[in-house]
Structure 1
Amino acid sequence: MSTATRRAVPFEGSSLAKVTADLKEEIRELYTADEVPWVIGYSGGKDSTATLQLVWLALQELPAEQRTKTVYVISTDTLVENPVVASWVSQSLETMRQAAVEQQLPIEPNRLTPKVQDTFWVNLIGRGYPAPRPKFRWCTERMKIRPSNTFIRKVVRRHGEAILVLGIRKQESQARARAMAKHEKRRVQERLSPNGNLPNSLVYSPIEDWSNDEVWTFLMQQPNPWGHPNKDLLTMYQSATEDQECPLVVDDSTPSCGDSRFGCWTCTLVDQDKSMAAMVNSGEEMVWMAPLLKLRDKLDVSGEEEHKLRDFRKMNGSIQLFGERIVHGPYTQKAREDWLRQLLEAQSRVRADAPEYVRGIELITTEELHEIRRLWVFEKHEVEDSLPRIYKEETGEDFPGRPLDEHLALGAGEIDLLREVCDGDDLLFTTARELLEVERKFRTMTRRSGLFEALEKTVKRGFFEDKADAHAYALKKKQLNEEIADRLPLIEDEDSADAPA
């Protein structure tokens, strides 16, 4: 939650023109001081837009011969961003690219995405990771931090060091203010701090002391230099607040839309996606996003309802206890197939109802679908290869991938027969299916080292009759371990007593 306070007098009594002129001069001095390249983080939001705009305006005023080093603009698309924001950022980056060429500025926009194995749907639907929680926040590192850090490290390797220009502000939150205060102690110069996470890089934060309303004042009074209207950005923020307002000069009782938060539409780390809910409720223009909000709320299930969706075993087949209860593992095969169905259904509905600028939206990419299929068949041994069938049933189109029949231990008819023989015992079925797939995998190898270990691992995974049997086994094992631990001091004392003096 933001803890921003508003100043009675904007910019501490100075004029916007004076503040802007001073910052542009500071930026030019820093830019021309050395050959260290700059990397600007751009999310498309108000703070990063204001920061990039200041840098752009400062470079415009430099002689062409002094624009000697590249300013890399990076924007990370997690592939599950709010579609309106994602479209805004994509259009802005393209406009930015063209404007930089026309204005002869060394500004290079870059849209970054996570590797396919790190995307949200590959991990949730493919591997079965449960929807992110504060204690299992697997998404941020994979989807946001890795792509940007990978890019920055490449720049550092190429040039030796880099300066990160970020739109961070002390008034964003208490946590942000504390973090910035900590790094201030080691500052190289004003607003230039060491980066605590990446070696050989510094962080420059030109608007760190600005308030929300000062950011909006700057954006509304200073035309966007790359030609992407800031009024459209204001409208986007307005639609993401319940009161539909985004005032610039306000009294203490008026909320600022600077508190709006845009992020992943799938996010379950918050109780409610207030920005998307406000957009959907803002009128018919945004109601096409309702299927996304509905799916997001379904992902945000907890307690016993969530346990029904998850395997009682961990990813490696082990049984883990927290106190006396089982710690559930990944989503079951059925749950993962259901999530895929609901996602493809939502995609079809959105494509049918969305405005033209997002009509071709991909909630999940073809590359992700191929990776999920690979994980299901070759790592989870789900040799039914159900993804193409689900895709066909939900989209009405054939899946754009080759058949895997030659790579599978069992055909569709044989799978049906095996399921019939197992007579409704799902654990027996999955164990037998995996054993057959392990045998197929090793059959063509010249050296079959590891075969017995793989078979043993599969048998151990399917050792239990059901969840209750697994729970009883884990409790008994825990009890035995505790009894052994209790006896160890006694045994050690007896050994000590028997030892010669």
Structure 2
Amino acid sequence: MTAIPIHVVDTFDDIREMLAAEYLDESQSYPWIVAFSGGKDSTLVAHLVFETLIDLPPSLRKRQLFFVSNDTLVESPLVVAHMRQTLEKILHAAAIYKLPVSGQVTTPDLKETFWTLLIGKGYPSPNRNMRWCTDRLKIQPTSKFILDKAAENGAAIIILGVRKDESATRKASIESHQNISNSNLTPHGSLPNAFVFRPIVDLSTDDVWEFLASNNPPWGGTHDSLIKLYREAAGGECPIVLSQDEAPGCGTNSSRFGCWTCTVVNKDKSLQGFVDVGKTEFQPLIEFRDWLVEIRNLPEYRQVERRNGTVTIKQGKHIPGPFTIEARQMILQRLLDVQTAYGSELISQEEVELIKQIWAQDLIQTYTRKNA
């Protein structure tokens, strides 16, 4: 079946037709992996994909679909709650319609969580020059899911809700990747046997909002909660990130829905927006995040040596090591105090236990080096 070129797509009916043609393409039957962050663009893609499946005769619904979301475990609380609730609705409706759809929320490994690395190993709070968080919290967990599905099926097709209209950087990134000849698919730059399909790439932001405001989701309910979320936070989302090329979309001033702990941005606009409309329970989280920024470079909180025991000098300037054990203990206690004030879990007991194990190992290694 001949693919409909994206450049001729002018209406949502065209996009549905293109999705159906791609789904029914007999030249490949690789599973679709719909990247679902819960934001406006990924919600629009999920809506259109779900509608396309419903409209197909049951006998033609042969290709498996996976909705995959990512939870860094330090997501903005309202945003991650919305994402998880919406995904649950999608999967529940898919079961009722008997669609070949399943889903999963990927999370970082316990040894790679934000708190394990920052409080356990003492990694300094991320900034633009040392953004260690994106790869470990976002890229690795979701990439593993995709690579597993590609290995099981020979390949996999990732459905992304990215648009050129998002930013100049996004437009340049999209245009730098060439589609396979006579196809809407693009090989993924860093995931072997994974292809990318961008069905809404040429839509404007107004197109997205007008559609979501005018059409109820096929899994039931309305998109009102999503619209309210954006209105209150005045925000854009930190989308599913699958490679370092896409990482600039996370932790920038144009991306406001992300981790509540994000110290890469100058100001957490989404949480502040929620506080400004009366959700004052998030104020302690904002204050904690701002405090992490303040203490990052204070010499009294940083080790002279790096974790491997070496001292780093660059261009005649000393580069401090991780947070000291004492600073890590201080950060953990303050986080636990914030957790009590907030009233919901911000760090798991498993993380706390692992963190204390790491501290003990670090103290033993430090003692051994000094007495060698």
| TM-score above 0.5 | yes
Q: 2:65 is matched with which residue?
A: 71
Cα distance, 1:188 vs structure 2: 3.8
Q: 1:137 is matched with which residue?
A: 131
- The match for 1:380 among 362, 365, 369 is 362
SS in structure 2 at match of 1:349: helix
Q: 2:32 is matched with which residue?
A: 38
Q: 1:309 is matched with which residue?
A: 301
Say what the alpha-carbon RMSD is for the aligned residues. Answer: 1.9
SS in structure 2 at match of 1:236: helix
Distance 2:184 2:208 in 1: 17
Cα distance, 1:225 vs structure 2: 1.1
Are residues 1:266 and 2:248 paired?
no
Are residues 1:104 and 2:87 paired?
no
Letter in 2 for 1:263: G
Are residues 1:332 and 2:324 paired?
yes
- The match for 1:147 among 141, 144, 169 is 141
Distance 1:97 1:32 in 2: 22
Q: 1:281 is matched with which residue?
A: 276
Cα distance, 1:147 vs structure 2: 0.5
Distance 1:227 1:114 in 2: 31
- The match for 2:371 among 459, 467, 470 is 459
Cα distance, 1:332 vs structure 2: 0.5
Distance 1:189 1:342, change over 3 A: farther
- Structure-to-structure mapping, 1:219-298, within 5 angstroms: 219-241=212-234, 261-283=256-278, 286-298=279-291
Contact kept? 2:158, 2:197, Cα under 8 Å = yes
Contact kept? 1:92, 1:228, Cα under 8 Å = no
- The match for 1:362 among 345, 352, 357 is 345
Letter in 2 for 1:218: F
What per-residue deviation string (whole Å, max 9, x for no partner) do you get for residues 128-183 of structure 1? 00001122111000000000110000001100001000001111111111111111
Distance 1:366 1:189, change over 3 A: farther
Are residues 1:371 and 2:354 paired?
yes
Cα distance, 1:44 vs structure 2: 0.3
Contact kept? 1:78, 1:113, Cα under 8 Å = yes
Cα distance, 1:302 vs structure 2: 6.2
Letter in 1 for 2:200: I
Contact kept? 1:50, 1:215, Cα under 8 Å = yes
Letter in 2 for 1:65: S
Cα distance, 1:260 vs structure 2: 5.8
Cα distance, 1:278 vs structure 2: 1.3
Cα distance, 1:381 vs structure 2: 2.7
SS in structure 1 at match of 2:298: helix
Distance 1:268 1:165, change over 3 A: same
Q: Any unmatched runs of 5+ in structure 1?
A: 1-11, 243-258, 352-360, 383-429, 436-456, 461-501
Cα distance, 1:221 vs structure 2: 1.0
Distance 2:107 2:138 in 1: 8
SS in structure 2 at match of 1:51: helix
Cα distance, 1:313 vs structure 2: 1.1
Q: From the two aligned structures, give the one with the greater helix fraction.
A: 1
Letter in 2 for 1:326: H
- The match for 2:202 among 182, 199, 209 is 209
User: Normalization by structure 2: what TM-score?
Assistant: 0.88
Contact kept? 1:237, 1:260, Cα under 8 Å = no
Q: 2:249 is matched with which residue?
A: none
Q: 1:198 is matched with which residue?
A: 191
Cα distance, 1:192 vs structure 2: 2.2
Q: Which has the larger radius of gyration?
A: 1
Distance 1:89 1:317 in 2: 42
Q: Give the percent of matched residue pairs that are identical in Structure 1 and Structure 2.
A: 37
Cα distance, 1:190 vs structure 2: 5.3
Q: Any unmatched runs of 5+ in structure 2?
A: 1-6, 236-253
What per-residue deviation string (whole Å, max 9, x for no partner) do you get for residues 216-241 of structure 1? 01111111111253111000000112
Moved over 4 A (4+): none
User: Normalization by structure 1: what TM-score?
Assistant: 0.66
What per-residue deviation string (whole Å, max 9, x for no partner) do you get for residues 366-407 of structure 1? 221121122112x2136xxxxxxxxxxxxxxxxxxxxxxxxx
What per-residue deviation string (whole Å, max 9, x for no partner) do you get for residues 110-131 of structure 1? 1110001110000000000000
Distance 1:188 1:195, change over 3 A: farther
Contact kept? 1:188, 1:194, Cα under 8 Å = no
SS in structure 1 at match of 2:301: coil
Distance 1:70 1:326, change over 3 A: same
SS in structure 2 at match of 1:300: helix
Cα distance, 1:212 vs structure 2: 0.9
- The match for 1:84 among 78, 84, 93 is 78
Letter in 2 for 1:280: V
Letter in 2 for 1:363: L
